[in-house]
Amino acid sequence: MIFLETPSNPSLDIVDLEFVGKLAKKHNILLNVDNCFATPYLQNPIKWGADIVTHSATKFIDGQGRAIGGIIVGRNELIKEVRFFSRHTGPCLSPFNSWILSKSLETLAVRMEKHCHQAMELAKYLENKNEVFNVKYPFLPSHPQYDLAKKQMRMGGALVTFEIKGGIEKGASFLNKLKMISFTANLGDTRTIASHPASTTHSKLTDSERKKVGIEAGTIRISVGLEHLDDIIKDIEMALS
């Protein structure tokens, strides 16, 4: 099985779904796409040849940081096995969490529209700031795979990454100075979240392993929430200064 995520966490690299879809078919390999960052609203991997689509529903599908869960989508014959395994080993949603997640799906489209619009505006703002560099967002024309992102995604998503000049020390002081934005190792909430992959989600990798997947010591990942855009920008402005 080929298992991939696009956009990737946290580097926001894009994997060419049409290319990998054809490659998998040619070699008769299952293609499983982690669609967590894009959500079904922004990207539909099955259209490009994926056999299975996996979501962490904990993120945008819940969207409000209340429940953890996951969704696996695919043909009946494939899902039958997953269902059998889950029934007998335990990773099943409780009825209450299922209810929360299915209610959330009713607002996924409107939430994603706003998340994406605000993320795009924040990315443009950051690109003009002297204190940061390497601003990455799939729908910024400066993204090295901008055309590919435009081809397979409907909007750019809610995640923006950048590096603070001055490395890990300046990065840490930036995170500590944020007031409204939450410093947590989660994403996809109504609240804007800043995270520092090198010391949290990717702390188990060595420096050189992190570099290989595009994570520098000073890389900051922002999951843009649904607060007023001016408040988000103001908090970042204040922490940078």
Ligand X SMILES: *Cc1c(COP(=O)(O)O)cnc(C)c1O
Binding positions for ligand X, rule: CB under 6 A: 5, 9, 34, 36-37, 56, 58-59, 68, 70
Distance of CA 32 to the CA centre of its chain: 16
Q: How do beta strands 70-74 and 52-56 pair?
A: antiparallel
Q: How far is the CB of 228 from ligand X (least distance, A)?
A: 25
**Which one, 9 or 43, has the nearer CB to ligand X?**
9
Q: How far is the CB of 106 from ligand X (least distance, A)?
A: 20
**For residue 172, which amino acid is it?**
A
Whole-angstrom Cα distance, residue 123 to residue 116? 10
**Which one, 59 or 143, has the nearer CB to ligand X?**
59
Whole-angstrom Cα distance, residue 27 to residue 96? 41
**Which one, 156 or 240, has the nearer CB to ligand X?**
156
Whole-angstrom Cα distance, residue 63 to residue 220? 21
Q: Give, as one character, the DSSP assignment of residue 126.
A: H
Q: What is the CA radius of gyration of the chain?
A: 18
**Which one, 57 or 239, has the nearer CB to ligand X?**
57
**Which one, 11 or 229, has the nearer CB to ligand X?**
11
Q: How far is the CB of 70 from ligand X (least distance, A)?
A: 6
Q: How far is the CB of 6 from ligand X (least distance, A)?
A: 9
Q: How far is the CB of 131 from ligand X (least distance, A)?
A: 27
Question: Which position's Cβ is nearest ligand X?
Answer: 56
**Which one, 68 or 233, has the nearer CB to ligand X?**
68
Phi, psi dihedral angles at 59 (to 5 degrees) = -90, -115
Whole-angstrom Cα distance, residue 30 to residue 12? 23
Whole-angstrom Cα distance, residue 8 to residue 138? 11
Q: What is the dihedral of CA 164, 169, 170, 172, to 10 degrees?
A: 90
Contacts of 211 (CB under 8 A, 6+ apart): none
**Residue in the structure block whose two tokens are 């703002």:** 125
3-state secondary structure of 15: coil
**Which one, 62 or 235, has the nearer CB to ligand X?**
62
